Amino acid sequence: MAAKPAPRKGREAFVSPAQASQRRYEAIRAYVLEGASLEQAAARFGYAPSALSSLVRDFRAGKLALFAEPGRPGRKSAPRKDAARAAVVELRRQGLSVHEISARLSAQGTPLNRTSVGEILAEEGFGRLLRHPEPEASASPATAGRDTRLPRAKVIDFGAFPARADTRLAGLLLAVPDLVALDLPALARTAGYPGTRVIPALSWLLSLLALKLTGTRRVSHVDDLLDDPATALFAGLAILPKKSALTEYSWRLSHDHQRQFLAALGKQMIGAGLATADQAVFDLDFHAVMHWGHDPVLEKHYVPARSQRARSVLTFFAQDSQTHNLIYASADISKATQNREAIAFCDHWKQVSGQDPAMLVMDQKVTTQQVPGELDDRGVKFLTLRMRSPALLRHISSLAPSDFKTVTLDRPGPHNKPKVHEDKAVKLTSYPGTARQLVVTGLGRDAPTVIITNDHNMTTRNLVTQYARRMTIEQRLAEIITAFCADALSSTVNLNVDLDIMLCVLAQALLAAFRARLGAGYHAATPGTLQRRFLDSSGTISVNDDQVTVRIDRRAYSPVLRQASLPADTAVPWWHGRRLHFEFS
């Protein structure tokens, strides 16, 4: 019988591989090639039999690559994932969740987000950690998706707050001076928002507002903000409420809370120059927030992004035509009531300013022909489009070139000299009076634009210009959808979405006020630009007995902040009167 050869040097690299990818290869090789049983191969290389069985199944199906392909030009690598792979596997063996593994890696100086941690665990054949029914499991570090070391949300105790704390969201606190200027505590009291035994109403609103200003897509993603001291300080709390608490808060509210808040906010915006009371011309539009499920309760509305009717929540917005700031929104709308939203807005503005709007500029689908008759009775001018019926198209086709006159609009671009034909008194099917009708060509559309209005005094040029400005509300809606995630449907219950949409109006007003502080160069900057360049800035927070100092790290746009008209010190009511002071590296 031949003697068994002595172990050769280097054997340990194959018996106990250090790299996770090699360990996976050796385990599959032992089972498939060497004939070891599933239990033997799994035990030898530290796998559970079920995990190794899944790896073998994927390997045989061609879904598992045991070796990386040679590098290709332009190919992306993930060196941070590769470097952390072994540590992630070891931490999962200790029973830690994805969230806790990510936090542990950050504490060790090798940060890796939860998505990457989850991808590594899936690649290594680990399943999800299961929630067990035993009461003690709810506090176990193995419970999926929870960091059990996080404290409960409560009002901030500055005595327990660290004297100095690093933060990746120091720029979020740049919005605090304008929140104080708009007197947010008074707005919340006027609206009657409820608080809870532990958290006051103001802190609930600020917690939800922090999600908007940081571009956090959904309430369920609030975990991404829980470990940052700036977000808690922003809301006046020791830590933000968790996702379940934030979701449940909207269940306590009614549409009247949002209506009263927006009325009080409108008055503050007029006082701050963010809206105009004297001109009082407003652009109106709908926006359908699409639902990606099949909830039978939701009605179907036309969704422009999909070019089709789909189940969605219909929202309504009003924009000040002069400042281009949103001043009103509502999601408490159904098909039966959507035609009355123009009247509802008139009632709202009368509550804000004491008088009806001077003019409403709207798309043809905002209302029906009967409602403009009510606007006439209230003395409100309207400017809208007329549906191009077959009879109207025949009338337009019968017009000769000499029936049109050229007007010059005060705006840049190639379409600033449209041709207009005007009819002084046109009878509509359901409108009680006669309307002024403008047939406009040369605005960049294939078909003529037909404008109708009850304003018989405004010049033709000003009417066309005023309607052209209405297009900016579509731009404004696109901006808030991008910056404040207004298309991430927060609920299938309209009243819950109502709070989310109201917060979009507040966030847009705050960034408009902040934009004004930055100077003329930023007069047209979008909310998304302000978020990326300023609010998404890291820094440090220092706290003493009467002052909170926020030092924002140096970035390319730091000179803009140094020259901005930020107040030297701001007394913050929800910080027990402590002053906010900014410094810039």
DSSP 454-484: S-SSS-HHHHHHHHHHTHHHHHHHHHHHHHH
Residue 5 has what pLDDT?
65
Of residues 171 and 100, which shows the higher confidence score?
A: 171
Residue 172 DSSP one-character state: G
Query: CA–CA separation, 3 vs 20, rounded Å?
Result: 34
CB atoms near residue 553 (< 10 Å):
16
What pLDDT was estimated at residue 269?
A: 95
Confidence of residue 389 (pLDDT cuts 50, 70, 90): confident
Spatial neighbors of 337 by CB under 8 A, at least 6 apart, are: none
Cα–Cα distance measured from residue 515 to residue 527, given in angstroms and rounded to the nearest whole number: 9
User: What's the pLDDT at 495?
Assistant: 60
In whole angstroms, give the CA distance from residue 283 to residue 359: 9
Q: What is the pLDDT of residue 491?
A: 66
The pLDDT, as a whole number, for residue 466 is: 86
Span 447-461, pLDDT tens digits: 888 999 999 889 989
**Confidence at residue 145, expressed as pLDDT on a 0 to 100 scale:** 45
Question: Would you state the pLDDT for residue 492?
Answer: 63
- Average pLDDT over every residue of 60-80: 67
Give tens-digit pLDDT for 216-254: 887 778 888 888 899 999 999 999 998 888 888 888 888
Q: Return the pLDDT at 69.
A: 58
Q: Give pLDDT, residue 512.
A: 94
How far is the C-alpha of 527 from the C-alpha of 484, rounded, in Å? 8
What ranges do the domains of the chain cover? 14-60, 79-139, 364-469
Q: According to the model, what pLDDT value does residue 421 have?
A: 92
Residues 17-40: what's their mean pLDDT?
85
Strands (E), 151-204: 164-167
| The predicted structure's pLDDT at residue 414 | 76
Instruction: Grade residue 77 by pLDDT with cuts at 50, 70 and 90.
Output: low
The mean pLDDT of 464-469, rounded to a whole number, is 84
- In this predicted structure, which of 269-283, 290-304, 394-408, 451-465 has the lowest mean pLDDT? 290-304
Q: Is the pLDDT of residue 19 over 60?
A: yes
Cα separation, 116 vs 119, in Å, equals 5
Alpha carbons 204 and 249: distance in angstroms, whole number: 8
Q: What is the pLDDT of residue 532?
A: 93
**Largest interatomic CA distance in the chain:** 115
Least confident of 126-135, 261-270, 355-364, 381-390: 126-135
pLDDT surpassing 60 at residue 106 = yes
Is the pLDDT confidence value at 76 over 50?
Answer: yes
- The owner of tokens 């809606």 is 477
- Average pLDDT of the chain, as a whole number: 85
Stretch 9-16: mean pLDDT, rounded?
A: 73
Confidence class for position 256, pLDDT limits 50, 70, 90: very high
Confidence (pLDDT) at 9: 73
- 187-191, 234-238, 373-377: the lowest-pLDDT one: 373-377
| pLDDT per position as a tens digit, 258-275 | 999 999 999 999 999 999
Count of C-beta atoms within a 10 Å radius of residue 135: 7
Q: Is the pLDDT of residue 543 over 50?
A: yes
Q: How far apart are CA 6 and CA 168, in angstroms?
A: 57
| 3-state DSSP assignment of residue 82 | helix
Q: Between the ranges 68-72, 179-183, 285-289, where is the mean pLDDT highest?
A: 179-183
pLDDT on residue 142: 42
Name the range with the highest mean pLDDT among 58-62, 329-333, 343-347: 343-347
Which amino acid does the sequence have at 350?
K
Lowest mean pLDDT among 37-41, 137-141, 368-372: 137-141
Residues with Cβ within 8 Å of 287's Cβ and at least 6 positions away in sequence, in order, are 314, 315, 316, 317, 477, 481, 486
Q: Tokens 């609030």, residue?
A: 222
For 317, the 3-state DSSP assignment is: strand
Percent of the chain at pLDDT > 90 equals: 35
pLDDT score, position 3? 59
Question: How far is the C-alpha of 273 from the C-alpha of 278, rounded, in Å?
Answer: 11
Residues in the chain: 585
Please say whether the beta carbons of 370 and 360 come within 8 A: no
Q: Which pTM was predicted?
A: 0.73
At residue 140, the pLDDT reads 41
Task: Give me the pLDDT at residue 222, please.
Answer: 84
The model's confidence at residue 311, banded by pLDDT at 50, 70 and 90, is: confident
Q: Give the span between the Cα atoms of 27 and 406, in whole angstroms.
A: 80
Higher pLDDT, 502 or 9: 502
